[in-house]
Structure 1
Amino acid sequence: MNKKDWDPAVVLPICITCMLIGSMTLELIYVILRDSGSSCLALLILTSYLLFNVVGNMWKFVRTSPTIKGVFLEQGSVGQGWVYCYTCQTHVPPRCQHCYNCNVCILRRDHHCALLSQCVGHANYRYFFCSLFYGWLALLLSTILNAEIFIELLHDGISFHSFFLLLMPWMMLFTGQVTPSTFIFAFVADTCVIGFLFCFAFLVLHCSLLYRGATTKEWFGGLARTYDHGWKRNARNFLGERWYLVWISPWVESKLVGDGINFTARQVFHKRLLTSNPYVESPYPK
């Protein structure tokens, strides 16, 4: 681990994220164990599997570098779409962007993940997407199981006390309106609901991006279809050759397609398809 890995700007968000995951996991286990029904063991196994995928994919995401460091960028390959980065002092390929948080150019950069202090790019998109997917499932399960907590907090009906307890539990704790244990349950339950809504919105966005083979910048820049090769090829390009197995475990091998440097545009791809198969109808005007 190099010096930059110990930078507080990198370590602090990761520590906060780990603390949130740990507190939600402990609260969820408590809720499951409190109800000693026949489904207790099944819920514990499901929770363990979801946690394994969330933490495993996050670990892989943080440890997989999507930057141009160590990537040989041939000067002779500089062509259309390549730009010069004055900070990195090198030409970079299409879809590559400089991140001022990471202070380096990222291959097929999507965005900078503030929760894990790492950019989402060509090399680690698979782990980001899978951690987002399993995080959403885990928070969905937690929200469902925490429904009883909300019912208990609202057992006297909807009042100003219960409303502020759910909306601003910190204020209720500081003013002495609730006990620390009640605050912890309310805070963690609120975090699960807010996290679920956040993950759901982000998951819908990235499912749309994955379906179109686009990055976030390309989506908002009106270039969402520039590298669209059909949903199956897009899944292979973003998640690897074994894209249908990456959901099982973050340690399932799935070799990335391409090098993150050279990309085939949608129009060029369809023209090559027409050349190899003349019976395919062209989507472009003659």
Structure 2
Amino acid sequence: MCFIMVGCKYIADIYPMQFVMTAHPCAVGLVLVGTAFFLWVEMFFVVPMIFDTEGVMYKLAWLVAIFVVYNLLGNMLACHRTDSSVKTLPEDRKIPSEEEKPLWNYCDYCQMLVPPRAWHCKLCNVCILRRDHHCIFTASCIGHNNYRYFFWFTSYMMIGTFLALATHFLLFIVNEKVRKYYLIFHISRFFKQVNLQELNPMFIWMNLIFVLNVYAFTFPLVMIAYQIPTLYLNTTFYTQTDLRYNQGLRENFKLIMGSRGLWTFLSPTIKSPLIHDGTQWKTKKSDVTIC
């Protein structure tokens, strides 16, 4: 995973425009196609082998699936459409006051002063407020205004792939007829040699979607592993050792999610105004505001 990220960053630094034109459509398309594929496989193939399609549990499974997909794609779209660049600031906040000037940084690319924790993105060609990183899966920079959507997008991707993986284990437990099609069943029998007659299309299909599901779950799990410390300590992806802005979990959560806090988990359409505009940050040591 680290190798992929370093490789992408290296290519993006050398060929920013070509990277954006290639990586964005591919990554966004992968999320859309992957979401549609797993929804179809789970709800029309795996889950019907566990629950009666006329029963309450199957209908409940559909409600959960729709809720997860809605939040996954809704937060992805909201993240893309929400601009976190310095240009979104009101005109009177784009220019620091005299006392703020020493604390602001000069951007050689934009040729202007920018607030603390804001820095330039070569792919977006603009400075981003509290820039975390550039995400190819949302085709946008993740910063002060849209970090909430990115976090829940990643969370719902992990929840969705986990639930899909859980249905395979449930199917393995409750359905004796289908159990023999899983390679894990034969491994559990001390690597018993698989009969060639068992290598039918059903055997290949069940193991293929299971392996794809494992990979699909691992990726957002790694992404969440990076984001939880960021949320907990109020750091960013590239400044994980800078603990100056850590105000405690509750305050950090409000700074990122807004006034509605945990309620934002329910829907990307829930209004949750941020506590400030991203130009002033309290530090842990002095407990004063850095403008």
Question: Do both proteins adopt the same fold according to a TM-score greater than 0.5, normalized to the shorter chain?
Answer: yes
| 2:96–2:104 CA contact under 8 A, matched in 1 | no
Shift of 1:128: 0.6
Q: Structure 1 pair 265/195, CA: closer, same or farther in 2 (3 Å)?
A: same
Q: Write the mapping of 1:19-168 to structure 2, written as runs, cut at 5 A.
A: 19-30=33-44, 31-37=46-52, 38=55, 39-71=57-89, 72=91, 73-76=94-97, 78-147=100-169, 148=171, 151=179, 152-154=181-183, 157-158=186-187
Query: Which residue among 233, 241, 253 is the counterpart of 2:251?
Result: 233
SS in 2 for 1:267: coil
| Distance (whole Å) between structure 2 residues aligned to residue 155 and residue 110 of structure 1 | 40
| 1:17–1:116 CA contact under 8 A, matched in 2 | no
SS in 2 for 1:157: helix
For 2:14, the equivalent position in structure 1 comes to: none
TM-score using structure 1 length: 0.77
| Distance (whole Å) between structure 1 residues aligned to residue 107 and residue 266 of structure 2 | 38
Shift of 1:182: 6.0
SS in 2 for 1:192: helix
How many correspondences in the alignment?
Answer: 249
What CA deviation, in whole Å up to 9, does each residue of 1:159-204 have, x standing for no partner? Answer: 7998xxxxxxxxxxxxxx975x766554443232122222223223
SS in 2 for 1:143: helix
Shift of 1:12: 3.1
What CA deviation, in whole Å up to 9, does each residue of 1:47-80 have, x standing for no partner? Answer: 1111111111111111111112332411435534
Q: Structure 1 pair 196/70, CA: closer, same or farther in 2 (3 Å)?
A: same
| 2:130–2:278 CA contact under 8 A, matched in 1 | yes
CA RMSD, 1 decimal: 2.8
Shift of 1:112: 1.3
Q: 5+ unaligned residues in a row in structure 2: which ranges?
A: 1-19, 173-177
Q: Structure 1 pair 36/254, CA: closer, same or farther in 2 (3 Å)?
A: same
| Distance (whole Å) between structure 2 residues aligned to residue 253 and residue 193 of structure 1 | 34
Q: Structure 1 pair 88/161, CA: closer, same or farther in 2 (3 Å)?
A: farther
| 1:23–1:188 CA contact under 8 A, matched in 2 | no
| Distance (whole Å) between structure 2 residues aligned to residue 231 and residue 155 of structure 1 | 41
For 1:217, the equivalent position in structure 2 comes to: 238
Q: Structure 1 pair 82/185, CA: closer, same or farther in 2 (3 Å)?
A: farther
Shift of 1:98: 1.2
What percent of counterpart residues are identical?
25
| 1:56–1:250 CA contact under 8 A, matched in 2 | yes
SS in 2 for 1:244: helix
Query: Which residue among 194, 207, 224 is the counterpart of 2:215?
Result: 194
| 2:186–2:192 CA contact under 8 A, matched in 1 | no
| Distance (whole Å) between structure 1 residues aligned to residue 157 and residue 86 of structure 2 | 28
Is 1:258 the counterpart of 2:273 in the alignment?
no
Q: Structure 1 pair 234/143, CA: closer, same or farther in 2 (3 Å)?
A: same
Q: Structure 1 pair 183/234, CA: closer, same or farther in 2 (3 Å)?
A: same
Q: Structure 1 pair 119/253, CA: closer, same or farther in 2 (3 Å)?
A: same
Q: 5+ unaligned residues in a row in structure 1: which ranges?
A: 1-5, 163-176, 273-286
Shift of 1:105: 1.3
| Distance (whole Å) between structure 1 residues aligned to residue 107 and residue 26 of structure 2 | 29
TM-score using structure 2 length: 0.76
| Distance (whole Å) between structure 1 residues aligned to residue 60 and residue 105 of structure 2 | 53
Shift of 1:95: 0.8
Is 1:207 the counterpart of 2:207 in the alignment?
no
